[in-house]
Structures are given as C-alpha cells and as structure tokens.
C-alpha cells in the first residue's frame, strides 16, 4: 500500500466516522441555497443490490432495479441498537413526508445479537415504531457486506439512476438528509 493510498483510505474512514457526505462535491452542493438546482452529477458509484435477504415485511421482495426512477433511502439498522431506535422517528417521518412523490425507504435489519434474528421480534419492533415502509431481514449480513457497511445505523440515499449520493452513519444530519431527498425529488420533475 502506497503512502498516497493510505492517506486516501484514512480520509475516507474519517469521513465515514464523522457521518459526512463521502463526496466533497456533494458536501459543497448541500451548503448552497435551496433554490439552486441539485447537481445529480455529484453522484457516486452505483448502489449494490440487495442480496441474501430473508423475510420481507410490508412489501414483496425488492431489488434496486425495481426502484429505478425513485429516490431511495436504504437504512441499515437493528431494533436492539439504541442509536438505531433514536433515528427511526426521523426515517418514519421522512417516508411519510415524501412517499407520495416517488420516495422509498428500504430498511435492512441486520442483527448484531442472536435474539435480533427472530422474525417475530422484528415484526413487533416494526409495529412498536410505526414502520410501514419495506424492511428485510439480513440475518447473514450478506447485504451489509455487499454494501461494505460497518455501522448501525447507516443511511444511504440513492438517486433515480441508482447511484449513491449521500451516506451517513449514526444519529443526526436529519436536515441534510431531508434536503438531499427533497432536491433529488425536485430534480428532473
């Protein structure tokens, strides 16, 4: 590993740990006035598909290709994680606010502990938190690994073309996430 690639890796890890947008161009875009058109060109790599998922709740099984043309928030979480639970009201509210405009949330429930693998426990958590958007169980962490995810909770926003435009780990950044979704929904509409 060269010194340059090591420095680049360290910078990426620092961005992920702080919950910052991984794209400097997108970060700059998010600080601009709301009436400035959103630059979809700031998008990153194509989002990986969902793989190895078990039970689906509130939906038939989905593939990212099924969601092309929509703005998607993929939310990695587990019901036993207090930080995940703290983000759920914001995700539920965001879904309610934008679902009629072409916005979809897909929850990927990836358990940290054995008791979180139970479908009935996940179903009870969905009811307890008022979650009506699609949620899939990722008990073998296959989607988690395909996305190279490392954190609970983690949110990935995907544009209408299937590109990841923002990723955030942890709590917070709710206004930035809302602005990003709104701008993507308003782009080319």
pLDDT in tens, 160-182: 999 999 999 999 999 999 999 99
More confident position, 12 or 152: 152
Residue 134: pLDDT over 50: yes
Q: What is the pTM of this model?
A: 0.78
Question: Which tokens is 53 given?
Answer: 């998922």
**pLDDT at residue 52 greater than cutoff 90:** yes
Q: Taking all residues of the chain, what is their mean pLDDT, rounded to a whole number?
A: 83
Structure tokens at 25: 């161009």
For residue 86, the model assigns a pLDDT of 98
How far is C-alpha 85 from the chain's CA centre? 15
């Amino acid at each position: 590993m060269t010194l340059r690639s090591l420095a680049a890796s360290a910078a990426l890890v620092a961005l992920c740990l702080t919950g910052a947008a991984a794209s400097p161009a997108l970060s700059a875009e998010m600080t601009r006035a709301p009436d400035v058109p959103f630059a979809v060109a700031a998008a990153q790599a194509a989002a990986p598909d969902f793989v190895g998922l078990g039970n689906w709740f509130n939906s038939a099984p989905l593939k990212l290709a099924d969601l092309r043309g929509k703005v998607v928030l993929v939310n990695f979480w587990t019901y036993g994680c207090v930080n995940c639970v703290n983000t759920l009201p914001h995700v539920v509210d965001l879904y309610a606010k934008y679902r009629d405009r072409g916005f979809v949330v897909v929850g990927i429930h990836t358990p940290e502990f054995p008791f979180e693998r139970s479908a009935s426990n996940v179903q009870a958590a969905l009811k307890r938190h008022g979650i009506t958007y699609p949620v899939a169980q990722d008990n073998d962490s296959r989607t988690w690994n395909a996305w190279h995810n490392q954190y609970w909770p983690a949110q990935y926003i995907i544009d209408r073309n299937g590109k990841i435009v923002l990723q955030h780990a942890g709590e917070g950044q709710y206004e930035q996430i809302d602005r990003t979704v709104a701008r993507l929904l308003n782009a080319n509409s």
